[in-house]
Structure 1
């Protein structure tokens, strides 16, 4: 069986990772999400954007995969599993998933904003959040930025192509914890449906996708995903 999992912010939120829709606390409580997730914001205040993403990078060490992440990784024992995620964390990888496609980039990859060369040099320590940190410089004179997709930027073509292929070749697609409103990733479930592939939505809340999927489970990923593959024949009738 070929299974493609499409995961969104809700899945990471179950592990305690704040989302952009959450009300941030402390230093970042009044930050405009656009200012820290757009190329315009980066050009105006790279030191503030770098500080915010560096803090998120280190913050991830305090959270771990939940039962939903671990369930998806366990499916690999009897199925070919691809994970297409909108999340920029590494929780799927830390749970053991081997084929993870990050369509919005990763907090754990960095590159030059001028020449695009990947950066694997040292990062400043950040024991607590601060308002600004100067980003490292590339040899070309550019600044090192997080390799994530900001508003108005294209998705990484290699990750997107692999995601489309994974969805198109699946026997079943499982959509977990996504609001189904952020395109183009939100169009992948419809691509599966257009290919006649069953789509199962796992989300405690109703989404714009709910009326179109094959089956919608009003459960969290940690509750629904363990044992889901074994339940599929009964669920899909």
Structure 2
């Protein structure tokens, strides 16, 4: 689904949708589920345009439509490709990714490791579903679009925008499951004094494919032997944490 305004001399922000609570609804029994992606995305855009300054135009691209708790390496690859594809258009001012909060911190790191373009990428979501009377999704999306359209955001890398907070991707963690300000950051503000520029926000030298590469995380309490480590290596792990 793509919507383009008639003006060609205004900022253009591409919204990549991936599902998540921001477009979800509540079914009888209180379970929050993803809705029809086209209908949900159109409703989201209609609401956005009703409050967005006319000087900013937006378009939407459906990348995924799922609960982000199911996302892993294959989905990270699709989102990295979607963002780089959107930024391949020189007429695009910035990109917004609408994402579930469960694995948002992993996605923003995957995106930021590949983001060499000065144009901003703002990742946002919601703590409350779209049909909740106090849904935070519309305000978060508006903030993310305004940020992505603003030249002041250039050169900052991938940004997380929720609950009126704006955080750089490095060190972002989800700290609360219900508070509007869902994310906090445990890394120092950039630039870091004393570090060379290339180490302040290191970027991968080329495109890394996450899917198809096995990296296992192993807990090693005091007194552990190498049984678990050897099992991971035997299973084909390319790396261990």
Q: TM-score, normalised by structure 1?
A: 0.33
More helix by share: 1
Q: Which has the higher contact order (CA 8 A, sep 6+)?
A: 1
Structure that is richer in strand per residue: 2
